[in-house]
Amino acid sequence: MTAYFEAPMLVPAEGRPCHAKAHLRARRAAHSGELAGKLANTLLGVAIGLGRTHTRPQIRCIAQRVSRLLPFFDSLWQEPTRAFVCGFRGWEHLERALARGQGAILTTAHFSAYRWLTLELLARGRRITMLVDDTFKRELDRDVYTRLSTHYPEHGSDRFRTCNSQDTTALWQLARSLKQGRIVLSFIDGNSGTEGKAAKNGSLELPWLGQTIRVRPGLAALATASGSPVLPVLATHDSAPSATFDIFPPIESFEPNESRLETRLRIMTTLFDVLEREIAKRPEAWEEWWLLPHWLAGSVRLPCERIVQPKFILTLPGIVGARLRLPDNSVWPVRSGPRTALIDLGSATIRDVDPIVVELIEAAERGVWAREWIEGRPEARACLEREIRSGRVVLDRSLRFHPPLSSVGATRSVSDPRGSEHTSGRGAHVEVDGTRCIGCAAGVSIAPELFELGPRGTIVRRQPTSDVEIGRAETAAWLCPARAITVKRSAP
């Protein structure tokens, strides 16, 4: 059973929730140059972690959602008077762990509404020692104490302490807190201590998200030294302003016939397994995708075998009837303000390139006709020759694409006064809300036969006429970060 702790929701005089302003700030920040740079690094991490299980449009949409959720939660956290309605699932696991008299190690992640976990534990009368990086220690102390004095003045400030992760006595301080019956709160994905790079000496290598990563076993070492159980806890953002924290069953710090190294490996593997399962359910809720390239213990495992095309001189007969295509998922184009760059999964790097190269890679993602792309542009022809010889782009005649808009049966959508795009079709009816569309072209990349990018964003090109097209339209609706696409199936 879920135990909920009610906290007051602040409502301004006009009767509208406070989080409306936070939404507006988050939406504005999503279009800033700073966030565009973060999107590139996030896309690199998502492509490495999910490239084996997700399509390119899905990966792009997940990266966009992550880059929008981060400023949204940041903007909410910047309001000291903000209060969340939070509940706990699995609270009994923590109660039983604390009843042993050895404290408890709670491990969370930068996942969804994790920022409010500390406040909710303090509001329930728990004493907490939090392991933080020295860079954020002073800021975190100020934020937590401000909210404690605002919402829960009856609780003393001694209930909350911070411990510098870079302090040489950090392990001793945390072990002392556990002996006092306190809760030690740390981050699963804060395994590095400095800039997301785990030290080679003393680190463990784990399989995670299809890659091999290197992590520090500090949490496992603390558990084995103190005998305290480790409990993973992750947040679920139900709706602003509410969240639920799931406390998972404890991971025991001792098993019979197990060496110290085996115990540390088991604890860290279990923690990252829990995080991987939650990421598989809600990949857009994890904020630390940009750190994944720094954790890698070796080269990136590419999601598919590379298609190699023989080198040749580009001629007109060689490109007629051929479409541009990417041979694998190792290259991703990125536009960050005036900057144009390519993400290379093979080396896990982002490097600047000419805008025409990014334009070519984007065209290859959409499967554009090669002849149309270079027609009348000598610089495009030279760029295509270079990229074909480098192996980043290939010409393909085997793909089956839907006919262009000018073909028989295609109808252009008509603008509706309400801001949506409507046309009639058979089997299902597709709409795009023009007032919500942000122009990310998610629908165009998934179903180019049904959607196209207009001057105000995505519009409906034509209605689906088959089960396959209806399925693609529903996929586009599910992946749309702005929830602007809707699909209504007709009655049989």
Instruction: Give me the CATH number covering residue 373.
Output: 3.90.930
The whole-number pLDDT of residue 193 equals 40
Domain count of the chain? Answer: 3
Q: How many helices (H) does the chain have, and how many strands (E)?
A: 16, 21
CA 199-205-208 angle, to 5 degrees, is: 120
List of the chain residues with pLDDT < 70: 1-37, 80-84, 134-157, 191-201, 238-241, 302-318, 320, 337, 397-426, 491-492
The whole-number pLDDT of residue 80 equals 63
Domain boundary among 243, 260, 295: 295
Put the strands of the sheet holding 485-489 in their side by side order.
414-415, 420-422, 428-433, 485-489
The whole-number pLDDT of residue 240 equals 56
If asked whether residues 17 and 48 sit together in one domain, one would say: yes
Structural domain of 96 = 3-295
Residue 417: which residues within 8 A CB-CB, separation 6 or more? none
Mean pLDDT of the chain: 76
If asked whether residues 53 and 163 sit together in one domain, one would say: yes
If asked whether residues 345 and 473 sit together in one domain, one would say: no
Residue 302: which residues within 8 A CB-CB, separation 6 or more? 51, 328, 329, 330, 345, 346
If asked whether residues 70 and 192 sit together in one domain, one would say: yes
If asked whether residues 186 and 321 sit together in one domain, one would say: no
If asked whether residues 129 and 35 sit together in one domain, one would say: yes
β partners of residue 235: 245
If asked whether residues 27 and 134 sit together in one domain, one would say: yes
pTM exceeds 0.75: no
Residue 210 dihedral angles phi and psi, to the nearest 5°: 80, 0
If asked whether residues 114 and 64 sit together in one domain, one would say: yes
If asked whether residues 67 and 193 sit together in one domain, one would say: yes
Residue 471 placed within a domain:
yes
If asked whether residues 149 and 245 sit together in one domain, one would say: yes
Identify the residue whose tokens are 């023009």: 434
If asked whether residues 192 and 333 sit together in one domain, one would say: no
Q: Within 10 Å of residue 96's Cβ, how many Cβ atoms?
A: 14
Q: Considering the chain, what percentage of its residues have pLDDT values greater than 70? A: 73
Residue 311 placed within a domain:
no
Residue 420 placed within a domain:
yes
If asked whether residues 351 and 437 sit together in one domain, one would say: no
Residue 96: which residues within 8 A CB-CB, separation 6 or more? 250
Please state, in angstroms and rounded to a whole number, the distance separating the CA atoms of residues 205 and 211. 10
Residue 278 placed within a domain:
yes
Residue 301 placed within a domain:
no
The continuous run of DSSP H or E covering 233 comes out as strand 230-239
Residue 332: which residues within 8 A CB-CB, separation 6 or more? 43, 44, 47, 56, 342, 343, 345, 361
Domain boundary among 265, 295, 325: 295
